[in-house]
Chain A
Amino acid sequence: MDILIPPAAKKCKTTALDEDTFGIKAILSDEYKTEIRLIKVHSSQLESKQQLQIVIEELAQKLPHFQHLKRVHDSNVLICPTADIEDTLEQHLKLHKISDKVLAALCRKVNVVEVPASWAKLRTQYEQMIRYWPCKFHPDKYAESLHNGSNFTASQRVYHKRMAHLLRNLSKDVCDGQPVGICVDPRQPSIVAIAAGNSSGSSSHQHCVMWLVDHVARSQRGGAWPSPLSFVEDVGQATRTLRGMPQTYYDYLRGHEASRDLLCGAELPRCGEPSSVNDDLQAGNLAKYGPYLCTGYDVYLLREPCLMCAMALVHSRVRRIFFLELSRNGALASTFQLHAVKELNHHYEVFQFTTA
């Protein structure tokens, strides 16, 4: 039996992505960081409980801080962040037109305390926060599942991992080690388009993602860049289109055991009325209106995209991004988190494949 161990161990190396140590980690914005942020705050111990109501009412109106906290704890009232005060606390209160009566009650016994700076997004944050000050918390099941990695079903995880494998293999076997991207319609799931970066390196803006977006456009009878590759042509009255698939990559998929059974093809663009069937929340506008840019699609990338590419995927309304390797100029984890910028008009989820 011992003899069997070395080859088995060797085999493990090539299938490392299938092991349990291999994970898919959601890249969440800083609000979801486990370490909580604290701020210094003036608090006041009130003399009597009778004062409470009038003090609270006035503070809520004139110094409406700390929505995420209970304003009172053990007859201690939170007044304002110490950083807000330019001169003295008393002057600050006068400036905000606090009545003499409340001012007197507040200024009797003032302390500085540390309290959580913002809302608890996750239970672990909440549990840390209440050690400092009682706070409010609205549990968010989905955020918790993203944080602890339980958001995918077993079969979804298997598919994501297969895409990770495919990215590596395509890059190694047919793309000269260049970055590779795969766009998937997650409803089936089915591969819509595949693209790789330019190996010639002639155009510094023709990154893998920019090609991928253009190949998806081809599946919708669009596309702007003349490609050196030839694309799969649809035969007869196809209901799905393979126009986003370069022939060489498609042949590779069909020629290899590991990828032979993967579904390929995109829904054709619809014209006319939105369909009322299939109206599940998951796919939203894609199910209702059919393909438009990359709406509802997932994108798998070998490398973390740069800022240009990350924003291209925002414009394209991608649903989720999965990537394998960090990039020096990556804009989703390494140098920046574009998906955490609230002002943008579209937000995708970001996941990184991790090998422990």
Chain B
Amino acid sequence: MAAFMEEALVEARRARDAGEVPVGCVFIHDDKVIARGGNEVNVHRNATRHAEFICIDATLAYCREKRLPARQVFSEISVVVTVEPCIMCSAALHTLAVKEIIYGCENDRFGGKSVIDVAAVVGQRINITGGVRAEEAMTLLKEFYKGDNPAAPPVAKKKK
């Protein structure tokens, strides 16, 4: 499954080239990539357009097109994503009850495993494996954050 991380990294680089936070994701079903995407927050002015959500939407479209039961398809999906899913994405993936999540580097700012225990809050456990090609994923992020996010206002001065 980890072999698909290259596909996710391709999406992350594509996001970077589009001026988005470089995170990429692919959904694997029956050993095939059925959904792929990178962050699309800036282009849509919508902070929830993370790579995982792009893939969730693509999977639903795929199920509609192929007339497959979405619930069952999600339960058979391996999520491969370059960065640990944030609390929002992790909550969505737990609620959709995907088969497993495989991620690259950790997200210590708002990771759905590193910061809070999403599985406990949602009440659903799934297999999560981290650290797959973590360094490459982290390097992409570090390089991105060296520059400024062109869509964001300057960081507010720290209170107190």
Q: Which stretch in B4-12, B136-144, B149-157 binds the other chain? A: B149-157
Q: How far is the CA of A329 from the CA of B109 in the complex (A)?
A: 23
Q: Which of B45, B88, B96 contacts A221 (CB 8 A)?
A: B45
Q: Which stretch in B23-31, B76-84, B110-118, B126-134 binds the other chain? A: B110-118
Contacts of B89 in A (CB 8 A): 308
B53 touches A205 (CB 8 A): yes
Contacts of B109 in A (CB 8 A): 343-345
Q: A289-B153, A345-B109 are in contact. Are A311 and B45 (CB under 8 A)?
A: no
Contacts of A306 in B (CB 8 A): 91, 95
Contacts of A204 in B (CB 8 A): 95-96
Q: Which of B43, B48, B56 contacts A315 (CB 8 A)?
A: B48
Q: How far is the CA of A205 from the CA of B98 in the complex (A)?
A: 13
Name the interface residues of B86-115: CB closer than 8 Å to any CB of A.
86-89, 91-92, 95-96, 109-110, 115
B45 touches A223 (CB 8 A): yes
B44 touches A336 (CB 8 A): no
How many residues on chain A are close to B (CB under 8 Å)? 43
Q: How far is the CA of A312 from the CA of B33 in the complex (A)?
A: 26
Q: A293-B45, A293-B47, A308-B95 are in contact. Are A331 and B56 (CB under 8 A)?
A: no
Q: Is A295 an interface residue (CB 8 A)?
A: yes
> Which chain A residue has the least Cβ–Cβ distance from B54?
A224
Q: Which stretch in A3-11, A47-55, A209-217 binds the other chain? A: A209-217
B88 touches A222 (CB 8 A): no
Q: Is A203 an interface residue (CB 8 A)?
A: yes
Interchain nearest-CB distance for B132 vs A (Å): 24
Name the interface residues of A274-317: CB closer than 8 Å to any CB of B.
274, 284-285, 288-289, 292-295, 306-309, 311-312, 314-317
Interchain nearest-CB distance for A331 vs B (Å): 6
A307 touches B91 (CB 8 A): yes
A344 touches B115 (CB 8 A): yes
Q: Is B18 an interface residue (CB 8 A)?
A: no
Q: How far is the CA of A335 from the CA of B123 in the complex (A)?
A: 10
A311 touches B91 (CB 8 A): yes
Contacts of B2 in A (CB 8 A): none
Q: A203-B60, A336-B121, A338-B87 are in contact. Are A311 and B44 (CB under 8 A)?
A: no
A213 touches B48 (CB 8 A): yes
Q: How far is the CA of A22 from the CA of B152 in the complex (A)?
A: 39
Q: How far is the CA of A225 from the CA of B56 in the complex (A)?
A: 12
B156 touches A213 (CB 8 A): no
Q: Is A341 an interface residue (CB 8 A)?
A: yes
Interchain nearest-CB distance for A241 vs B (Å): 12
- Residues of A near any B CB (own CB < 8 A): 202-205, 210, 213-214, 217, 220-225, 269, 274, 284-285, 288-289, 292-295, 306-309, 311-312, 314-317, 329, 331, 335-336, 338, 341, 343-345
- Residues of B near any A CB (own CB < 8 A): 40, 43-49, 53, 56-57, 60, 70, 86-89, 91-92, 95-96, 109-110, 115-116, 118, 121-123, 151-154, 156
Q: Could you list 9 further interchain pairs (A-B, Cβ under 8 angstroms) beyond the known A292-B153, A308-B89?
A: A205-B53, A214-B46, A295-B153, A308-B91, A308-B95, A315-B48, A315-B86, A335-B121, A345-B110
Q: What are 11 contact pairs spanning A and B, CB under 8 A?
A: A224-B40, A274-B153, A307-B118, A308-B89, A311-B86, A311-B91, A315-B88, A316-B47, A329-B122, A336-B121, A343-B110
Q: Which 4 pairs across A and B sit closest by C-beta, in order of nearness?
A: A222-B45, A311-B88, A315-B47, A308-B91
